């Protein structure tokens, strides 16, 4: 399945990937479908899996994907984990992360799926105020 919703960490994670997403047009189409699904229930996190397709975004593709992600996420920017193969695909994903950061969302590229899920789990944990801060005192 190309677009799926998983509930991990008690949160809703949208997973995009699949062998048929080999071109920028395929990815943009899938992100638009995700945008429509997001209206039903917002995602707490996104996981983009580039591994099966061999899709490596260049600068033009990266900018188009970042714009599509911004539309998908609307005003709420959930964390985005990007799974890749080693090499150029990983470098293209790092470019996506940098461009995404400039547009306001947290993204990280990974070559290992377990690492990606661990990072998403850390991003979805409730923020704990530092000990001694006024917020920490009022929470107790």
pLDDT in tens, 20-50: 666 777 777 777 666 555 555 667 788 888 8
Average pLDDT, rounded, for the chain: 75
Where are the domains positioned within the chain?
Answer: 3-125
- To which residue do tokens 């105020």 refer? 129
Q: Is the dihedral of CA 70, 67, 31, 4 positive or negative?
A: negative
Is residue 40 within 8 Å of residue 14, measured between CB atoms? Answer: no
CATH number listed for the domain at residues 3-125: 3.90.190
Torsion angle of alpha carbons 38, 39, 40, 42, nearest 10°? 50
Closest CA to 107 of 138, 68, 134: 68
pTM of the shown model: 0.73
């Amino acid at each position: 399945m190309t677009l799926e919703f998983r509930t991990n960490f008690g949160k809703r994670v949208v997973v995009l990937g699949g062998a048929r997403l080999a071109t920028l047009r395929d990815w943009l189409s899938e992100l638009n479908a995700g945008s429509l699904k997001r209206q039903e229930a917002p995602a707490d996190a996104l996981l983009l899996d580039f591994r099966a397709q061999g899709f490596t975004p260049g600068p033009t593709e990266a900018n188009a994907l970042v714009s599509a992600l911004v539309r998908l996420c609307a005003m709420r920017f959930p964390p985005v984990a990007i799974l890749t193969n080693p090499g150029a695909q990983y470098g293209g994903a790092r470019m996506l992360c940098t461009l995404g950061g400039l547009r306001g969302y947290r993204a990280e590229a990974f070559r290992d799926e377990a690492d990606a899920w661990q990072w998403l789990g850390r991003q979805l944990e409730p923020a704990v105020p530092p000990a001694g801060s006024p917020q920490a005192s009022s929470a107790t």
